[in-house]
Structures are given as C-alpha cells and as structure tokens.
Amino acid sequence: MLDPQARALLDLIRERGIPSTHELSPAEARKAYRDRRGYSQPAPPDVASVRDFPVPGPAGALLLREYRPAGSAPGQALPALVYFHGGGWVIGDLDTHDVLCRSLANGAGCAVYAVDYRMGPEHRFPAAVDDALAATRWILASAGALAIHPARVAVGGDSAGGNLAAAVTLALRDAGDALQPAFQLLIYPATDMRGTSASHHENGSGYLLTRDVIDYFQGHYLDATQYADWRASPLLAASHAGLPPALVLTAGFDPLRDEGLAYANALSAAGVPTQYVCFSRQIHGFILMGRIIDEANTAVRLCADVLRHHLSP
C-alpha cells in the first residue's frame, strides 16, 4: 500500500496539472524544484553556524556549504559528513537540500559539507564525479583547518547524490588514498544506469520519478555508451570489497528500489558491513518532504542515528 500522505501529494500534483520534470527545460526544472521546497519541507532548524566558501576543483572553484551542529563550540573537533544533493545530476542545489543537511548535522552531531558540484547538460559525465572526488579529498586533507576528525568523515547523498557518494568511495579505494571515508550513507541511490531491474517496470509511472523523468536526467548527464562505467553505475564495479560500512535506504514505490537493494547486497557479499532499510510505502524523494510526509522525518532520524553511531569515537 502506498503511504496515504504520499498518495495525497501525488493526487494534488495531478489535480493541479503540475508539469512533470521531463516536460521542462533544465533551467525551468531547477527553478520549479527550488520553488516547491517550501510546500513539502519542514522549517530549517537552527544550527551553530553556516558558511559558504570555495575550494579548488578540477575545473575551477567548487562551492561548499559547511554546517556546524547546534550546541557545538567554535573550533571543537567534530566528525563530518560530505553530502551530495540529489536531482538527477541536472537539478537540485545547496538550497534544495539545506533543511536535510541541517537536520543531519544536528541529529548526528557532526559537521556537514554540502558540495555544489557541476551538473548536466552544461557539464556532462564525469564532471560531477570529478567534483565530488575533489571536494572529498580536499575536506579530508583539510581536516585540521576545518576542525574535524579526518578518520571520522562519512560521505553520503540521495538519489544522484547517493550515486556520487558510492563512486567516491570506489575511486578513493582504487587510488589507495591514505585518507578514506569512514562510512557511506546512500539514500535511494542510483547504482545501475541500465535501468533493467523489476522496480523500474513496476514503478516506472505514477510515482513522481517516472521512466520519462529518468530518461530526461540520464540524457542530460551522459551517453548510453557510458552506462557500464562504474563511475556512472557503481553496481558494475569489478569489486566492492574494502569499502566503508554503509547504510542503504530505499523506497518501495521507487524505480530505483531494486538497484539500491542490489548495491546493499553487493556490499554485503564483499564483506562490507552494510545495513539496508526499505520504506516500503514511500516514493522516491520522500526524505525531503517532512512537512507533509511523517515517515520522512523518521528516515532523517534513522540516518542521523546511524551516522552518529558510526562516527563516534
């Protein structure tokens, strides 16, 4: 059964004739995503501090947004989460995920660094992966200046951001970097660009993230010839051994449900400590919708609790 609160949202979208993302230009879709967040997202909780600052990236400066949790002292060494927003590598930004990052910072008692990575169609694959990797490396290397613990830094993201977080852990492992993430938080991640799992067929229409929207995002981000690249499809990596522990969260009425589960299973099969939780009555994107979907707040608390546990001394 679809959660009644999720059903009410889908009914409202249909009744008001709100166009689907794939019917809009990227600029229009980005604006719509930003503008609608006030309807579905809770009020932003207070944190100790927020600041935006640039860091070096592979194609120029990257903007980061740092959140320090409520109750923390200036200069206090904290665990941290490097967070990549969702939005199909085309939409979404630091503002669309501001409430979630604030909530995770406070709930987990960690600093959060949200990354404003390059997106398609202006910057196609692997630009987003390159930015995510560069930002993570910079944060790990700058732990002292940032007042964070370099051995207690997680990476995470939702949807396209979960895809980037998974790719970052694989890239850092393969490169043999001395500093590696301590944990990965993967919220309904895209892990297989081929889209052949059963959930893509079962949930491909009627549940907000449709097959048409997925095709729109992928078409603006990469070419079909790149689907098998593990940086685009982390599930297809040759090995998943030696990666950081993970929490993989999925939604039952999401086309990405099965590839999220497949990724959790691949991690577990490779000996990576992995927890998997499916909110079986939910739709893709629900974790941002705490004003109108109660289970979104439950999911945020779950993510924060698991982060706090894994990043504790």
Active site residues: 159, 254, 284
Burial zone of 124 (CB within 10 Å; 0-12 exposed, 13-18 middle, 19+ buried): middle
Q: What tokens were used for 33?
A: 């995503």
Strand partners, 22: none
Do residues 160 and 87 make contact, with C-beta atoms less than 8 angstroms apart? Answer: yes
> Nearest-CA neighbor of 39 among 63, 18, 61, 67?
18
SS3 107: helix
> Nearest-CA neighbor of 89 among 37, 131, 53?
131
SS3 114: strand
Q: What tokens were used for 4?
A: 């009644």
- 17's CB contacts (< 8 A; 6+ apart) are none
Burial zone of 238 (CB within 10 Å; 0-12 exposed, 13-18 middle, 19+ buried): exposed
* C-alpha–C-alpha distance, residues 37 and 52, integer Å: 20
Burial zone of 157 (CB within 10 Å; 0-12 exposed, 13-18 middle, 19+ buried): buried
